A and B are shown apart, each in its own frame.
Chain A
């Protein structure tokens, strides 16, 4: 639903925030984004997977294989300490960005 560029720019932010509370596997992350955005943001596996790889490259997240009884093993991703700091910074930037845009487009609400 949203502009492709908007989605692309916020993808990392979304992923990081969703695994802040607990580790999740790749498909779960995509489903959670879709669910919380009420279907307005959807990521296919082919789009989400490379982003996870990039985040892992930058040591913002760390993946590990987890095997549960009766299930095939899945790769879960967790937030690293560096990722935690990055997420906090991104939240701040995002809040300020939204505020600034609102100031411009809705000056009577500033």
Chain B
């Protein structure tokens, strides 16, 4: 029989076709000619006649060749062959499908592939859910606290206004406002449509059983219209409220109406006794109203601010009030500030004769409320993002290793016509499927994480009730899910589709070039993970170190048997009171305080008791210049410090040790005396002996004296746990006292039972004295340290996760490398390499990666830690010990992570390894 394929091959000249495709055409045509030949034989023709009859089927070979070449068949016959084979094996083919059907096929195929690798899928989904879930939880906090608009009408137009005096910058970049200055702004500035003044106050609610302490706010009438809120019942204050002699009215919060008045439907018009005033309830606020958190305590009631000649006097003093204002449309904050600055300059010039300058500070209200949280929250967000990046890098390595087994599949797909991006799309679909599964589980993780975060949030964190999983957070989750899929999916997909098709089809596994490039990418990913980890760990350690210093600096306050209670002892004076009236009221207040102190001191178990105007760590008190007679300085150069007013028993009650001299005692009642803190002696008096020097005490309520003699130096205290010690001068109560004085009691008794007895002792002296929540020093310390502990705990958690993931990634890469290099190791051992040489080889590989990663990470950390310098205490942002410690710790852990696979490499049997090849 004629060789028909040979006949076709000789006659059909197809130029430019690939060998395999031409072969297919030849085979088919040869087969058809053979069929024609066989049929001719069956008809009875002789072999030569049959051959001629068959040959007549194709007369013009060149025309046939041209037609076949023009067709895609001629170009892609091999593709169809492979496509058919692939279809037979159930491999998803990529032919002429629409985008939608192609995507559906990709999804179905991706799910099938993931189902076939349950271990990989579970690990990937779990780690993704943790990484995405953590980010979602933290972003929920960022969104609720920082990003979400305030719940008021046109919140972007609301601003908080403060004052700043450059010469008194020691008191901070923002001071509360003087009442008279506020009135001047209202009269003279045009940039704001309305302004309101707010004063933090408190009163005893009397006549309803035991006196209840209520936190309130004295406000000017415009407040509620500025915030865009109206009482749910009754009305807001009239514009006449608060002007000298205005009505005594009060508006309750919904919560107070519930807790004290049990939702009494006839509440409006009722008269209640708040302190020494009878107040008529004119309104109840809606249940969803949240007052901006700019006061130390959320107010439970609102009363009209009572102007007096003292509070309405403009000047550089009595900075006691908050101001909220609504910017007029058409004005910018800068223009508004410029107007206020002009007014401030005039007031400062008039009041101080040019010795002091004064500016207005105009801050968006949201920033006023949440500004202190910004740095901490963004740092947490960065830490969470770094952890997610490490998760993605780990998964990219896993996917890379997995993809090396699918090189042949990729080659088949490419051979039957799938473009590179089409194949990449398939792989990315698989990673998207993983990421979506991880993202859905992440929502559960986030919900749980959020519950824990909110439940354990320190009291001072603002807008905690705004933290929730809303549509913004869900969109964020979706975005990072897709981003994660692209990060850990795209790179390995691009890598695996880059090889040469023919080599991949020919070989039984990945080619040498594919292996080498894959190994390089895996190494790069591990270096990136270690770098991210090394960037995060120094920040974590610096925060831990700061916390340790804070705890150390304040450990003297870790006392459970020292109980404090803030008491407001108000002795009423008439509006037309004279100086003698004020002195009488002052003496009466001191008598009450002394009486309370005596009754408490004799209680069983009480070791000591005393009063102070400000307990340590409860913020600042009376800020003033500490002016020494012996060191005369111009007013604007006098050191800014704090005046506190205490009874003699206070120091031993609170546990403040004397450093030099002695405390003032009752015997000093006829003497103007003062005790100063160590910082004052060190920073103001320097080498001079502090005892016997004199401090200016000329502007107090009590008996008038110009200079008070220093009789002692006590240990330092702080306004907040992580701030530097204050410059404090302690004056005796008989020289001056404040409206709020804190009782401090040191007792041997159990604090709970001691508290009951202390309350009874106070009420026996004054039955109308309401007592806000008592606290121990330990409670005060804990709540002060709580925000820092909270933040540090979270950063530590993220850093530990990052370190664990990075080391797991390192272990996985080194272990995989040992598996891949089994043959090489076998050859080395066969050629005489010792086990220790192999150990050094593998360990060296791992250590090299870590060294590079650590170097990059530390360099990055040097920049990052500088940004968080304000969060640190007792340690610098570039503390060398911390950075060295991180590098050393990472190296040690890395060696440990590499040791197991390295040890496994030394156990390779060279005969087995060589035989497998």
Contacts and interface: CB of A to CB of B under 8 A. Distances in A.
Interface of A: 25-28, 31, 44-46, 49-50, 53-54, 56-57, 59, 62-65, 72-75
B29 A64 contact: no
B31 to A, nearest CB: 6
Interface of B: 27-29, 31-36, 39, 56-60, 63-64, 67-68, 71-74, 80-81, 84, 95-96
Given A45-B33, A49-B32, A72-B31, A64 B80 contact: yes
A21 B32 CA distance: 21
Nearest to B73: A53
Nearest to B74: A53
Contacts of A65: 81, 84
Given A27-B35, A54-B71, A75 B28 contact: yes
B73 A44 contact: no
A54 B68 CA distance: 9
Contact of B59 (A28, A31, A46, A54): A46
Contacts of B31: 25, 27, 72-75
Given A56-B71, A65-B84, A72-B31, A49 B64 contact: yes
Contacts of A57: 71-73
Which 8 pairs of residues, A with B, have the shortest CB-CB distance?
Answer: A53-B71, A46-B58, A50-B67, A45-B57, A27-B35, A64-B84, A53-B73, A27-B32
Interface of B is mostly: helix
18 contacts: A26-B32, A27-B36, A44-B57, A44-B58, A45-B57, A46-B57, A46-B59, A49-B29, A49-B64, A50-B64, A53-B67, A53-B71, A53-B73, A56-B80, A64-B80, A64-B84, A73-B27, A75-B31
Contacts of A27: 31-32, 35-36
A2 B39 CA distance: 24
A60 to B, nearest CB: 11
Nearest to B35: A27
Given A45-B58, A74-B31, 8 more contacts: A45-B29, A45-B32, A53-B73, A56-B71, A56-B73, A57-B71, A63-B80, A64-B84
A57 to B, nearest CB: 5
A56 B25 CA distance: 13
A31 B36 CA distance: 9
Contacts of B81: 65
A53 B220 CA distance: 90
Nearest to A76: B84
Contacts of B58: 44-46
A65 B78 CA distance: 11
A6 to B, nearest CB: 20
B34 to A, nearest CB: 8
Contacts of B60: 46
A44 B56 contact: yes
A59 B83 CA distance: 14
Contacts of B71: 50, 53-54, 56-57
A70 to B, nearest CB: 14
Nearest to B28: A75
Contacts of B67: 50, 53
A53 B77 CA distance: 10
Nearest to B57: A45
Contacts of B33: 45
Nearest to B88: A64
Nearest to B38: A27
A42 B96 CA distance: 33
A16 B119 CA distance: 49
Listed residue (A59, A72, A73) with the most chain B CB atoms within 10 angstroms of its CB: A72
Nearest to A46: B58
A45 B73 contact: no
Contacts of A63: 73, 80
Contacts of A72: 31, 34
A26 B28 contact: yes
B39 A31 contact: yes
B80 A53 contact: no
B72 A56 contact: yes
Contact of A53 (B36, B68, B96): B68
A65 B34 CA distance: 16
B423 to A, nearest CB: 21
B13 to A, nearest CB: 14
A51 to B, nearest CB: 9
A49 B59 contact: no
A62 to B, nearest CB: 8
Contacts of A49: 28-29, 32, 64, 68
A26 B58 CA distance: 14
A64 B79 CA distance: 11
B36 A45 contact: yes
Nearest to A71: B31
Contacts of A44: 56-59
Contacts of A75: 28, 31
A72 B4 CA distance: 13
Contacts of B29: 45, 49
Contacts of A64: 80, 84
B22 to A, nearest CB: 13
A59 B96 contact: yes
A65 B688 CA distance: 107
A63 to B, nearest CB: 6
A28 B39 CA distance: 11
A20 B33 CA distance: 24
A65 B20 CA distance: 14
A50 B68 contact: yes
A53 B29 CA distance: 12
A28 B36 CA distance: 10
Contacts of A25: 31-32
A64 B95 CA distance: 14
Nearest to A30: B32
A45 B74 CA distance: 16
A23 to B, nearest CB: 12
Contacts of B56: 44
A54 B173 CA distance: 82
Contacts of B39: 31
Listed residue (A28, A31, A64) with the most chain B CB atoms within 10 angstroms of its CB: A64
Contacts of A26: 28, 32
A59 B76 CA distance: 13
A54 B32 CA distance: 18
Contacts of A45: 29, 32-33, 36, 57-58
Contacts of B28: 26, 49, 74-75
A57 B31 CA distance: 21
A57 B69 CA distance: 12
A74 B167 CA distance: 99
Contacts of A73: 27, 31
A46 B36 contact: no
A33 to B, nearest CB: 14
Nearest to B60: A46
Contacts of A74: 28, 31
Listed residue (B32, B39, B60, B72) with the most chain A CB atoms within 10 angstroms of its CB: B32
A26 B29 CA distance: 9
Contacts of A54: 71
Contacts of A50: 64, 67-68, 71
A93 to B, nearest CB: 24
B417 to A, nearest CB: 12
A27 B27 CA distance: 13
Nearest to A56: B73
